[in-house]
Structure 1
Amino acid sequence: MAREPNEQLRQLHQEAKWTLGQFANAVNRVAIEAMSDQRVDKSNAHKWLSGHTPREVVRPLILEALSRRLGRPITHADAGFPSPPDQDTTTQGTFDSLLDLGRLTMERRGMLSLGLFSVALSVPDWEDVVGRLSAVTTGKTGRIGMHEVELSTP
């Protein structure tokens, strides 16, 4: 019976741009920091991506390594792992829901700012918006101090 690959974990692994060895090393670093005696190698990482479920004690280490690399919390569900048996499913469901809500909020913020600049660009005589947008994206914004304010007052 062939196992189905863990597509969720595979996608996270690709997003992290790790080799199998780098993945295993990252998990081992987290294990050392957590004072755990768990050690993995690239063959373990290959097995996880191929559909083998990691041992229960290793899963939090994998999630932490991925979270650090990707700069966001990664849950059991995100990685295609079963929920931990010792965790209340209601609490885990609430936690996952809050993380999903945070992700959606961040996506909406990006879309709103993009929409604002798109609308501003379509309004006539708003050329300065284009200049402001390019200044913000390139990091070339200027500061106006009291000297400039005093010069402009009559």
Structure 2
Amino acid sequence: MKQILLTAILATVFLGCEKKAGEDKVTGLETEVLAIHDEIMPKMDSIMTLKAMLSTKIKEIDSLDNIGLSSNSLAEQRIKAIDINNKLNESDKSMMDWMHGYKGDSAKKLQSEQAVLYFEAEKDEILQVKQLTLRSLQEAKKFLE
């Protein structure tokens, strides 16, 4: 009888430790995901600022064209500015889409294994948003120098 009771206690302790480890992993992943988001989110202001600057640049090019000062170089600059502006829009949209789709509170209610899979997928997705954002910001800043 003591043997059965001891086995039951050990099994309960083991399962409790295993559950705690899973919860810790979920918490750690969630923390990583939110840290990446928090690193990138302030850059959305820079995106808006650069988009405004690109719009101004496009208007300047258009005004030169309107007074008869057009060239292949200006046309190329305009195309490049529009392309970069589109990339900035894509970065902004990616962040907004990610935020709208993020369901961290719901995921924490899942079994640990499922929650880990969810947060790993979210981490991959927010890292893609980060890469897209940093590339588009860098390209815009370089163009506007």
TM-score by length of 2: 0.31
Structure with the largest fraction of helix: 2
Point out the structure with max Rg over C-alpha: 2
Higher relative contact order (CA 8 A, sep 6+): 2
TM-score, normalised on structure 1? 0.29
